[in-house]
A and B are shown apart, each in its own frame.
Chain A
């Protein structure tokens, strides 16, 4: 077996999720091949995610009336659509529903968040899991809007995961049609002012989804669109909604013609004839193939896989691959693996809190997913400020070191290292931990500090808190 070198370190950290014991050795012979093999072939759902509900199950369960109501009256079922904002007037007469959403949604969320973390900790295809997290963050759905608290996990499984090595357009369509996104960015109720519903009721446009699709998901903020484009796109997307509680597929995507703004629309200078749902499909297709989208995605991808400020050479190459392959995300991932810039500096990126916690659990070879372990992992993620599916805004979590390494962030990381060392520091020798994780990049200052540490536990904490372990 080849002695793991710097390229093995980069493969398992920059591209993977941190080494599990033995993984550096597996990657050592052919680091690029080891990564590319993870992209090939079918990708079964990770065991940790088996048995979690689909978004339609979540909706159906919440729709069932619970408990015994007053005689002759059914207790109210959860109304996903009307409750699009639980503090809004419509549901203020239904406090029981809001309470139910909070309780049941919270339980669902905890299960999802823990399962997602365990999938990352236990993955044999860590590059694939990293891509899931990357694209999930690109298309953020955050439980900061309580309405999606039970849907954020299903969203990632249904709209992101199947497409991480597929086509960008397919992911974009799946994301935009997913009930979680339609609720999170308010499109489910957006109504054309001249539509049948708009004429009859006091409803109209909501441009939130249209704007973030342009700004965050496709073209980028400097991608060359105007307010008129945002408004037009919002009109195009009217009717992209979800089935209501009295309809067959409650909670599923539904195009509602009665809410769709009729007539021709102009988006980015392109004319869209009246075409119901097809308008949105055509518009998203155009956006997926727009040069600005290629540029925007290339930058984000390079920022994630190369450096906070990625070199222009890599940007140009990624942009070209995205454009020339019609947004083949597998090809884009291969381009990142093949980019010499990604193999230049093994410690260029700082791990996010999520990456730090997951790589630490991988380093100690954490197995199992019982409740105590779930509590520990989620507690750490909360303590470090990055719970799953809880990004502060639709822009997602930041992907730059300066956002994470502040005075208190660095202290919290030390707290975390000390806490892990207190639990397992006696079980794994510090030298073993180094050999399993950061041996190819370890500096003398760390090996000296480890040798001088007062206890094995202290030495263990030093390794986990070292720049070699905190970076990727």
Chain B
């Protein structure tokens, strides 16, 4: 009896406002847990983490500027200089308990403003289209193989950050079609023998199916359909349950869409606060479901680049450069905003329009590779993030 993909039957309602998500899990021989959340579409870091203490913030941001904490349209306070978007309030307990670190004025080395090339660099760790596989896949491939092989993902394809030679599976959020019989799948395995693409995908899929059956059991929480806004929190909860199980995977990637706020971005309400609230609820749900392993958990939330400092002409923002990122989990030395703050006066902006990037996001990714994933420095420098010596791993960010 197949129970494949009954564990997380999450509907991507085609008509809601917040973008849908996909998710993929990778196996990894460690007890540490790593989750990377890729925000596709360029999250506005100045809205997520407003630098309300910067003297130029209010004038440069115009009608997208928050007031000081405590006032009408005020942000939440982090450290007297940086604040938090009110929609991210569910993250405040993590901040208070020292489990949330914020990076600001951060970016990959990518300096043009194409979503697609920007995401390529974020996920491959190299210049656009220079590397074909994802840095997280390469990192997993370098870990000692203890025989554990767990692989699940949501959606028809694996996100680029997890693509590569190391085994990674995926599963689908919805069981729209009834599952094919095991007999048919066995015969297909035979039939695909001469087709490497299909045979590898099927082998990964069969393995994923077995793992999901083992971890979630036949009664795995099946949900027929969800509104798009409910999708990310529910997916995060399910991922957390899988990661928390000792038999489950160690590494997972979530994708969240809907950050490309050219229009109707909003301050207290609008597209961006809606997306941020969904993200914060999801991260809170992730923590909740990962409680047994939370102390060994690192979650990185990153986007391809930021958005213009000034609002554009349609109550939104256009593609920019520097932005914010979040690192959270029981493994994180948190309660701090890590930033070499460039300031927001016009002469300090990148190309006169964007938050200048002063922190290389690869420093965080490299810390993840070295600490929770346990790779040595040489491997990370040579194989995971080649040509990144100028951006050393952020050594004091993570505990283990």
| A-B contact list, 29 entries, CB within 8 Å | A84-B263, A84-B314, A86-B17, A88-B315, A89-B264, A90-B264, A149-B15, A190-B314, A221-B114, A227-B112, A230-B113, A382-B176, A383-B176, A387-B14, A398-B157, A406-B204, A407-B152, A408-B208, A409-B170, A410-B205, A411-B4, A411-B179, A412-B156, A445-B194, A458-B184, A462-B187, A462-B188, A465-B191, A466-B191
Q: Does A414 contact B (CB under 8 A)?
A: yes
A92 x B209 contact (CB < 8 A) = no
Interchain CB contact under 8 A, B316 and A186:
yes
Q: For residues 281 through 338 of chain B, which have their beta carbon under 8 Å from a beta carbon of chain A?
A: 311-316, 318-319
- Report the nearest B residue to A461, measured CB to CB: B184
Partner among B169, B266, B318 whose Cβ is within 8 Å of the Cβ of A407: B169
Tell me the total A-B contact number using a CB cutoff of 8 A.
234
Say how far A30's CB is from chain B's closest CB, in angstroms: 31
- Select which of A395, A407, A446 is within 8 A of B171 by beta carbon: A407
Q: Which residue of A lies closest to B274 (CB)?
A: A87
Query: Closest Cβ of chain B: how far from A373's Cβ, in Å?
Result: 16
Contact-residue bracket for chain B: 35 or more
B178 & A407 in contact (Cβ 8 Å cutoff): no
A409 touches B263 (CB 8 A): no
DSSP class of A's interface residues: helix, strand, loop or mixed? Answer: helix
CB-contacts of B184-232 with A (<8 A): 184-185, 187-188, 190-195, 197-198, 201-202, 204-205, 207-209
Given that A205-B312, A407-B201 are known contacts, is A227 also in contact with B113, CB under 8 Å in the complex?
A: yes
Residue pair B180, A189 in contact (C-beta under 8 Å): no
A343 close to chain B: CB less than 8 A: no
The answer to whether B156 touches A454, judged by C-beta atoms less than 8 angstroms apart, is no
Residues of B within 8 A of A466 (CB): 191
B366 located at the interface, meaning its Cβ lies under 8 Å from any Cβ of chain A in the complex: no
B266 contact from A88, A149, A350, A470, Cβ within 8 A: A88
Contact between B184 and A227 (Cβ–Cβ < 8 Å)?
no
CA distance A143 to B312 in the complex (A): 23
Which of A51-59, A196-204, A246-254, A284-292 participates in binding chain B? Answer: A196-204
B184 x A467 contact (CB < 8 A): no
* Cross-chain contact B263 with A198 (CB below 8 angstroms): no
Interface of B: prevailing SS: loop
CB atoms of A395 and B314 under 8 A apart: no
Give every chain A residue within 8 A of B14 (Cβ-Cβ): 106, 143, 382, 387, 390
Nearest B-chain residue to A453, judged by Cβ: B187
On whether the beta carbons of B262 and A106 are closer than 8 Å, the reply is no
- Bound state CA distance, A202 and B181, in angstroms? 60
Q: How far is the CA of A404 from the CA of B198 in the complex (A)?
A: 10
**In the assembled complex, A327 has its CB within 8 A of some CB on chain B:** no
Could you tell me the distance between the alpha carbons of A385 and B158 in the complex, rounded to whole angstroms? 13
Q: Which of B195, B271, B316 contacts A467 (CB 8 A)?
A: B195
The CA of A190 and the CA of B271, in the complex, are separated in Å by 18
Q: How many angstroms between the C-alpha atoms of A190 and B181 in the bound complex?
A: 54
Task: Check A414–B171 contact: CB distance below 8 A.
Answer: no
Query: Which residues of chain A are near B202, meaning CB under 8 Å?
Result: 407, 410-411, 414
